Structure 1
Amino acid sequence: MTLTRRTLLLGLGAVTLSACADTAPVSSLATTGLPADLRPTPNAAYDAWVASFRSRAEGQGISQSTLNAAFRGTGYLPGVVRRDRNQTEFTRTLEDYLAITASDERISKGRAAFDRHRSTLNAVEARYGVPANIVTAIWGLESFYGERRGDVPVISATSTLAFDGRRGAFFERQLVEALRILQSGDVTPANMTGSWAGAMGHTQFIPTSYQTFAVDFTGDGRRDIWSDDPSDSLASTAAYLSRNGWQSGQSWGREAEDGALQPQPGGPRFAVTRNFRVIKTYNNSDSYAIGVGHLADRIAGGGPLRGSFPPDQFGLTKDDRIELQRRLTARGFDTGGADGVIGNNTRAAITAYQTNEGLAATGDPSPELLRRLGG
């Protein structure tokens, strides 16, 4: 991933700071619903870092009153550091990626969200030239249409990561910009929440991207990407794409037999346009851009891809994998759904079945396992 809107952020972000004489009880930030490791934990070294940071922030124009309000009730989040250090680069095939990002549920919810916010989306498209279904698709991939915006305090998250130091300069910059957002009055400290890495709102802007691209589409004087109303978030996403070169009237691309782009060997090919590269400025991944484009097409009423994908490394097609999941679940080994994606739940179910049957507990699917499970 290159330096884009989501640079170095592979998960959800959060914000919590502490170490002020007037620190209020942690409960003031309503962190009780978070996992224990995402709640403030005493850390003297972190407190000392925050004390030194305050003077640096004041030197960059952050007022004492903003600092006091922002750091009140915040603290060191050990789970943020753990997640940052334990990130794994999962390599999914395009077939698996699309099974997740353009699932039946995500398509149906996308169409419903599009209909529900049609007037806003059409107005956004008219102003910025970015198709409403593209904006809706990004919304769907980033937060499941607002259902998964993240609830970690951004100040705590960014300050914890800045203190940790592995990417200290990057996260200290995010922290300073988060404080500027608070100082401008766009959001309160209690409402400034996001992913564990500081990405915020319906379409997951990090603070620096928010400062550069967020817009007040509703005209209420605030660029509010955190509220249940997604208008400012949707418009900010369109503004982002527009300023990064989106060409109005041009599609992202299309599936094409003679296309040059074949992300998965043996799978469908795609002919893409400049707008495909613009989507990649949001997340620098071919699969992400195809996922956005394909989901956008499906939301607009388009059909599934015509091309097929080859069997996976285990010799199973997607239909085989779906059937395997169904048969395991029917036997009492719940895979958590039948989408054809072999993830942790399916592997755990396979392992449990293999153990129960006295087989080698590999957790791997196979044609033999599918046959053994019967019809």
Structure 2
Amino acid sequence: MLTLRVFLTGSLILAAAVAGATPSAIMRPVPRPGTDVSPPALPSELAVQASIRPPMRMAAAPSGPVTPVADEVSSSGFRVWIAEFSRRAGAEGISQQTLDQAFAGVSLNERVIERDRNQSEFSRTLWDYLDSAASDARIANGRAALRDHRDTLDAIERRYGVEAEIVAAVWGLESAYGSFRGSVPIIEAMATLAYEGRRAEFFETELMAALRILQADDIDPAHMQGSWAGAMGHTQFMPTSFLAHAVDFTGDGRRDIWGDDPADALASTARYLSENGWTHGQPWALEVDLPEDFDFSQSGELIERDAAHWNAMGVRLARGGGLVPEHGASSILLPAGHTGVALVIYENFHVIETYNPADAYVIGVGHLADRIGGGPAFRGGWPRHDRALTNDERFELQRRLTAAGFSTERIDGIVGPLTIQAVREYQAAEGLVPDGYASEALLRRLRRG
């Protein structure tokens, strides 16, 4: 789970599959030129029922290599670890009563370890993801959820300044509007993964946060459930994020993100986005049409310009008209290269990235929110004949680009802004459209030399 994150290559999404729910809202925002992950593929008949949150967004976890661990872990060793951790937790203010309640009946969860150790990589394209994230059924369910919880979502919007449709869309992607909140005991899962040791520091921090939640009496251990990787509730907060952002919106004295009433979870999500810079009334993105002579070297998240600049270049909204200055600085994003959908993205795009930095997730949330609110589907097309690069191919792409004189700065399999810039420079040198789209066709060209 912990290091098998993968990333957006131009428009192709590469991901580590996860057997079950995975962390979503984490404590620290991810840097804007972030990397990307995608959700596991789903059979079409499960596309609406199941959560499609992208797996293992571990960018805020401690950096550095994963600590090797022995294949053997034992129940006796786990009990010793629990005793030692409890002593440390007590020294940090966790009461003995809380510790006794939290660890009563907790045992080594070998299924959690199995899921963590056996995540197989797969590839999926952005357009396949959006077919599920913004399917007709998910849109209809979102409109129903918005209608059923309109008073609550309107009150949340008034308090935190985050549009009801955005909050509903996060809810829809994280737990299918509350249908899949996870059923794994969080204390047991976090303790198991901390003891197992590959990311001990990260999971010990989450476990300590979970104990503080119990001590605050927001939930009892039996009902503190979520994913095997620690994400909890309607909108899948990690324990540290809960401590930083969760609110008691209902006023019942508890910050309850787990129960059937989603109000606290939805308000907590809005607060998270608000505290990370959400601007009410600003689009996350708008679909645009680019002129035939558009300078594609000016595309990408790293290049921000004002509306006047893009209007002078001939960029027009897909629904007609030019960009307006009130929305602020923006960038041109080509998630499928120059032949696919083109977006002008605003600061709110990057705010959603702090919740999960996968471009697929951000576009999924934003587009689902637009559709829930009555907006149109994307008008542009997708290169559906393309496939995603494999993990080995991403490393190969970087090595070949660097060897050809277009340095990616590092060979790490992460197709982020530096690699995309190298792709763009290579494309320009080869007389190709410099859209930064890292595709299989581009890799084949590099192989030919």
Shorter-chain TM-score range: 0.7 to 0.9
Count of residue pairs the alignment pairs up:
286
Partner of 1:308: 381
Partner of 1:296: 369
Partner of 1:167: 199
Displacement after TM superposition at 1:296 (Å): 0.2
1:53-99 residue CA offsets vs partner (Å, 9 max, x unmatched): 11011011111110000111211111111211222444321111101
Partner of 2:210: 178
Given the superposition, is the C-alpha separation of residues 248 and 229 from structure 1 closer, same or farther in structure 2, using an over 3 Å criterion?
same
Partner of 1:104: 136
Displacement after TM superposition at 1:42 (Å): 6.9
Q: Give the structure with the higher percent strand.
A: 2
Q: Which runs of 5+ in 1 are unaligned?
A: 13-40, 315-375
RMSD of the alignment, in Å? Answer: 2.1
Q: Bigger shift: 230-239 or 44-53?
A: 44-53
Displacement after TM superposition at 1:278 (Å): 0.1
Q: Which runs of 5+ in 2 are unaligned?
A: 8-22, 28-36, 38-53, 58-72, 291-314, 316-331, 388-449
TM-score by length of 2: 0.61
Determine the C-alpha separation between the residues in 1 that align with 2:383 and 2:90: 58
Note if contact 1:11-1:195 (Cα within 8 Å) is conserved in structure 2.
Answer: no
Determine the C-alpha separation between the residues in 2 that align with 1:92 and 1:292: 17
Note if contact 1:77-1:156 (Cα within 8 Å) is conserved in structure 2.
Answer: yes
Note if contact 2:24-2:236 (Cα within 8 Å) is conserved in structure 1.
Answer: no
Higher relative contact order (CA 8 A, sep 6+): 2
Displacement after TM superposition at 1:257 (Å): 1.6
Given the superposition, is the C-alpha separation of residues 313 and 286 from structure 1 closer, same or farther in structure 2, using an over 3 Å criterion?
closer
Give the letter for the 1:114 counterpart. Answer: L
Identical aligned residues as a percent = 55
1:277 and 2:350 aligned: yes
Note if contact 1:177-1:211 (Cα within 8 Å) is conserved in structure 2.
Answer: yes
1:123-157 residue CA offsets vs partner (Å, 9 max, x unmatched): 00000000000000000000000000000000000
| One of 41, 47, 55 as aligned partner of 1:10 | 55
Displacement after TM superposition at 1:171 (Å): 0.2
| One of 44, 63, 66 as aligned partner of 2:76 | 44
Determine the C-alpha separation between the residues in 2 that align with 1:300 and 1:232: 22
Displacement after TM superposition at 1:299 (Å): 0.5
Partner of 1:263: 335
Give the letter for the 1:222 counterpart. Answer: R
Note if contact 2:277-2:348 (Cα within 8 Å) is conserved in structure 1.
Answer: yes
Give the letter for the 1:285 counterpart. Answer: A
1:237 and 2:310 aligned: no
Give the letter for the 2:110 counterpart. Answer: P
1:202 and 2:202 aligned: no
Note if contact 1:102-1:294 (Cα within 8 Å) is conserved in structure 2.
Answer: yes
Determine the C-alpha separation between the residues in 1 that align with 2:254 and 2:365: 28
| One of 153, 157, 167 as aligned partner of 1:121 | 153
1:152 and 2:184 aligned: yes
Give the letter for the 1:153 counterpart. Answer: P
SS at match of 2:277: coil
SS at match of 2:333: coil
SS at match of 1:92: strand
Give the letter for the 1:257 counterpart. Answer: D
Determine the C-alpha separation between the residues in 2 that align with 1:235 and 1:118: 13
Note if contact 1:4-1:281 (Cα within 8 Å) is conserved in structure 2.
Answer: no
Give the letter for the 1:10 counterpart. Answer: P
Displacement after TM superposition at 1:230 (Å): 0.2
Displacement after TM superposition at 1:5 (Å): 2.8
Determine the C-alpha separation between the residues in 1 that align with 2:161 and 2:100: 41
Partner of 1:350: none
Determine the C-alpha separation between the residues in 2 that align with 1:311 and 1:282: 28
1:188 and 2:228 aligned: no
Note if contact 2:284-2:347 (Cα within 8 Å) is conserved in structure 1.
Answer: yes
SS at match of 2:289: coil
Give the letter for the 1:86 counterpart. Answer: N
SS at match of 2:105: coil
Determine the C-alpha separation between the residues in 2 that align with 1:313 and 1:274: 29
TM-score by length of 1: 0.73
